[in-house]
Amino acid sequence: MPYHIKKLGLPLNAGIGDVYYTGGLVWDQDYSKRKVYSAKSTADARIVNTDGTNGGFSGASVVSE
């Protein structure tokens, strides 16, 4: 089952909706551009923020859709 990372786009009042992680520091509204992971554990490891330096993934979640 494939997994990807998504979060609510900012600013909240602009009505952007969900954005999808595409790699590097890039997020995009286009679902087809999302980075797909074959294992949930790999995607979970990407969004870990134990030292507070991973701010781009704040509010992100790993999903399978």
Question: Which one-letter amino acid corresponds to residue 63?
Answer: V
The pLDDT of residue 42 is: 95
Contacts of 36 (CB under 8 A, 6+ apart): 2, 3, 4
Can you tell me the mean pLDDT for 30-43? 96
Q: d(Cα 49, Cα 60) in Å, to the nearest integer?
A: 11
CA pseudo-torsion sign 12, 16, 18, 19: negative
The pLDDT of residue 41 is: 96
Assess whether pLDDT exceeds 80 at residue 34.
yes
Domain ranges of the chain: 4-48
CA 22 to chain centroid: 8
